[in-house]
């Protein structure tokens, strides 16, 4: 069994219905409407609810940041790369958007990226098995429970996984401060994978060479780049914006020419990937 703690992570895991709950423990000292609603949801779903002291919950969670609730659950199911395509896209009829993380090691960054990915309508996440933050209670808490709603695959070799995604006709887009184009000049309305690198070091060289395009976020200040979770938020929400506009244009018959005319030029239709 795994420990899951925090109001949002426990609530979202209950709503998602992907995990088997053994029981939920709430702090005797906490008595408020929000926790009462969560306890009622547990009982509605047939999940056992126990009470313990706040100190005992801190020992179980190994942190005082449990917000008065701890759940004992089965580990989250991790997918293979092929499994990302067994479900329909997050937005019906839309192109696929996948996020791949090349060795993000900080669980807070991982959790923040998962929260952003869920909000931006990402269809799947690709993580590496080695030198990468695990889906720990800390990461899941930092995701505010968003991890429970995402399709997450673990791979041994990210380069091979990216090549597999290329074979499925997805563009591989790396974010790198040495990139040739600004992120907002690129057309994200097609099937694509956004690849983010390690804290500080960025993309591994082989991963970098596998990308079809390398994009940068222009920086006006003294530092050369953003934190990986902030950078991911900037680019994923630009992709989400373009996709919303494309969907509206398709419905109205107006198309997406006005907002993507400059972006289309950055993505030739028949360009092969650098790693092909």
In terms of domains, do 92 and 193 share one?
yes
Q: Looking at residue 155, what is its pLDDT?
A: 94
Residues 86 and 160 in one domain: yes
Domain boundary among the residues 18, 40, 73 is at 73
Say if residue 15 is in the same domain as residue 86. no
- Of the three residues 73, 92, 117, the one that is the final residue of a domain is 73
User: What per-residue confidence (pLDDT) applies to 268?
Assistant: 41
| In-domain check, residue 44 | yes
pLDDT in the model for residue 273 = 39
CATH number for position 40: 3.30.1330.30
pTM of the model: 0.84
Residues 213 and 94 in one domain: yes
On whether both 37 and 163 belong to a single domain, the answer is: no
Residues 68 and 85 in one domain: no
| Residues 109 and 228 occupy one common structural domain | yes
> From first to last of its 276 residues, what are the pLDDT tens digits of the chain?
899 999 999 999 999 998 899 999 999 988 888 899 999 999 999 999 999 999 999 999 999 999 999 999 998 888 888 888 776 666 666 789 999 999 999 999 999 999 999 999 999 999 998 889 999 999 999 999 999 999 999 999 999 999 999 999 999 999 998 888 999 999 999 999 999 998 888 899 999 999 999 999 998 887 777 899 999 999 999 999 999 888 887 777 644 344 444 444 444 443 333 333
The pLDDT value given to residue 221: 80
> Residue 49 domain-assigned?
yes
| Residue 197 within a domain | yes
3-state secondary structure the chain: CEEEECHHHHHHHHHHCCCCEEEEEEECCCCCHHHHHHHHHHHHCCCEEEEECHHHHHHHHCCCCCCCEEEEECCCCCECHHHHHCCCCCCCCCCCEEEEECCCCCHHHHHHHHHHHHHCCCCEEEEECCCCCCCCHHHHHHCCCHHHHCCEEEECCHHHHHHHHHHCCCEEEEECCCCCEEHHHCCCCCCEEEEECECCCECCHHHHHHCCEEEECCCCCCCCCCCHHHHHHHHHHHHHHHHHHHHHHHHHCCCCHHHHHHHHCCCCCCCCCCCC
The reply to whether 89 falls in a domain is yes
Q: Does residue 270 belong to any structural domain of this protein?
A: no
- Residue ending a domain, among 52, 73, 94, is 73
pLDDT score at 88: 66
225 with 131, same domain: the answer is yes
Residues 12 and 135 in one domain: no
Q: Provide the pLDDT for residue 265.
A: 42
| Full domain range(s) for residue 104 | 81-264
Domains of the chain: total = 2
What is the structure's pLDDT at 90?
63
Which pLDDT belongs to residue 83?
Answer: 87
Judge if 147 and 226 occupy the same domain.
yes
Q: What confidence score (pLDDT) does residue 89 get?
A: 67
93 and 122 belong to one structural domain: yes
For 46-104, the pLDDT digits (tens) are 999 999 999 999 999 999 999 999 999 998 888 888 888 776 666 666 789 999 999 99
Instruction: Based on the fold, state whether residues 184 and 203 are members of the same structural domain.
Output: yes
CATH number of the domain bearing residue 238: 3.40.1280.10
């Amino acid at each position: 069994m795994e420990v899951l703690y925090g109001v949002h992570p426990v609530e979202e895991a209950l709503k998602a219905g992907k995990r088997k709950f053994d029981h939920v423990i709430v702090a005797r000292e906490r008595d408020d409407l929000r926790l009462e609603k969560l306890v009622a949801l547990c009982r509605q779903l047939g999940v056992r609810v126990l009470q313990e002291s706040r100190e005992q919950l801190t020992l179980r969670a190994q942190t005082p940041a449990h917000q008065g609730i701890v759940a004992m659950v089965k580990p989250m199911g991790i997918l293979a790369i092929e499994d990302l395509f067994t479900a329909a896209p997050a937005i019906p009829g839309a192109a696929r958007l996948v996020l791949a993380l090349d060795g993000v090691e900080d669980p807070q960054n991982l959790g923040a990226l998962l929260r952003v990915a869920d909000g931006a309508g990402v269809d799947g996440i690709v993580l590496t098995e080695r030198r990468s933050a695990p889906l720990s209670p800390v990461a899941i808490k930092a995701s505010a429970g968003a991890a429970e709603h995402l399709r997450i695959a673990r791979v041994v070799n990210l380069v091979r996984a990216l090549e597999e995604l290329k074979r499925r006709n997805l563009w591989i887009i790396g974010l790198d401060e040495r990139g040739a184009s600004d992120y907002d000049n690129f057309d994200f309305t097609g099937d694509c994978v956004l690849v983010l690198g390690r804290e500080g070091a960025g993309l591994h060289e082989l991963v970098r060479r596998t990308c079809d395009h390398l994009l940068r976020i222009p920086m006006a200040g003294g530092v050369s780049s953003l934190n990986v979770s902030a950078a991911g938020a900037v680019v994923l929400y630009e992709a989400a914006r373009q996709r919303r506009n494309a969907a509206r244009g398709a419905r109205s018959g107006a198309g997406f020419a006005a907002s993507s005319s400059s972006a289309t030029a950055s993505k030739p239709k028949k360009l092969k990937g650098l790693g092909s």
